[in-house]
A and B are shown apart, each in its own frame.
Chain A
Amino acid sequence: MRRDIFQAIADPTRRAIIALIAIQAMTPNAIAENFHTSRQAVSKHLKVLTECALVRQEQKGREIYYSLELNKMKEFDKWLNQYRKLWETRFTQLDTVLSKLKKQKK
């Protein structure tokens, strides 16, 4: 199943995890210490984030470290900006249409 980035960041715990591992790579245990939740619950969130390619795992000795896939986050930011820009362009065009209509009315 293809996970969706919107779904990934809809959850407040997942957003908090993203904020945590944006600063440094962390193990699931270290991440879980920051939340009033079980290690299992954190693992579940990490699984969703991994499926969306928002985080990457790196094996260091016995531990797995999770870190943020910055490019993927930037991609999403870019999407938002582009969509916003599309509407800005539309509305600037609408401003022109409206000012023409106002002149015609006079």
Chain B
Amino acid sequence: MEGLLHGVEGFMYPNEVELQWSVLIVLYPFLTGLVAGAFILASLEKVFRVEAVKPTYRLALLTALAFLLVAPLPLQLHLGHPERSLEMFVTPHTSSAMAMFGFIYVWYLMAVLVLEIWLEYRKDIVLAARASTGWKQRFYRILALGSDNLSAGALRADDTTSWVVSLVGIPSAFLLHGYVGFIFGSVKANPWWSTPLMPIVFLFSAMVSGIAIVLLLYMLATWLRGRLIDMACVDTIGRYLLYAFVIDFSLEMLDLIHRIYEADESFKTLDFMVHTRLYTLQVIIQIVLGTLVPIALLALALVVKLSDRARVGVYVVAALLTLMGIFAMRWNVVIGGQLFSKSFLGYTTYKMSFATREGLLPAIGLLLLPFAVLWGLMKLLPPWPEPRPETETIASA
């Protein structure tokens, strides 16, 4: 640990040398961002009736749920006393964004996501309950809340309620991830974080990452199922990804230009940091490879006539680069904000350990866990029930 002192350049307040928030705190906004983004994509179909993306509707919902369930885990691992975390619900400090977030999380999980998924799948659950026996039947019966009504009236009620939940869900999703941005953006002590743009930047980068991951998962799942990819669907998703990206990039550039122009007391130290310690991660990985290249690729697919195979390739590469870029953005905000001294006179380094509670190994594990959860969810609530002759859709070429 004494080695940390050797990583200090210039002057840091003595208590600042060791970083407070680790890679786990980078992971957390990344995971909740995927939730918000996936849900927004789902609501495109439900609320805005963009029919083309219908094949991804259920997948997007399940993806959101899988990531939302895993999201509190990095926080729990990070806390000095995870056993005390329920205090946030018992005595929440209303002036603290972190405390209020606990309630937003529960609201979004139960009143939006779980409810939405339940309404969407209720018919399938009831049918499964009718078709199975023994404990499986009991399980599906409980999941259906004992309901057995699949009349046209009941299904219509489901649809209407689902529409309302989705409608409420959109601002809820904005709140879910905008709040995470506010947790950083409201810290006046840290000029790298403190900006009113922070919640909005976080939100749009969340949408970008969420759309990208659903796009990727849809193509992967379709390929694994041996089906044809619905090109109209992925083309539409690619378009929306591009739109979200352009807005996201504009917002980040606005923040940057504003900083450079105003050049307040923090500017020199931040500028130096971006040009040295943060250069590879910020400029190369986040901006060039993680934003500009995907934008160029997506624009290419939109403007130039490419074959289906080529477009799928473009989307895969663009989505992967996007996810990498958005992860880098979270890293640059969280870790970058702790690399410089609040005295503006020095820098420290982040020594990420490997197999400790807040090390790289648990971070990788937590990054992979949602996919395992998603796999389980997909087995329980299949997004694409096996087509029966009268309802089989023929994927467009």
Q: Is chain B found bound to chain A in the same assembly? A: no
Tell me the A residues contacting B by CB distance below 8 Å. none
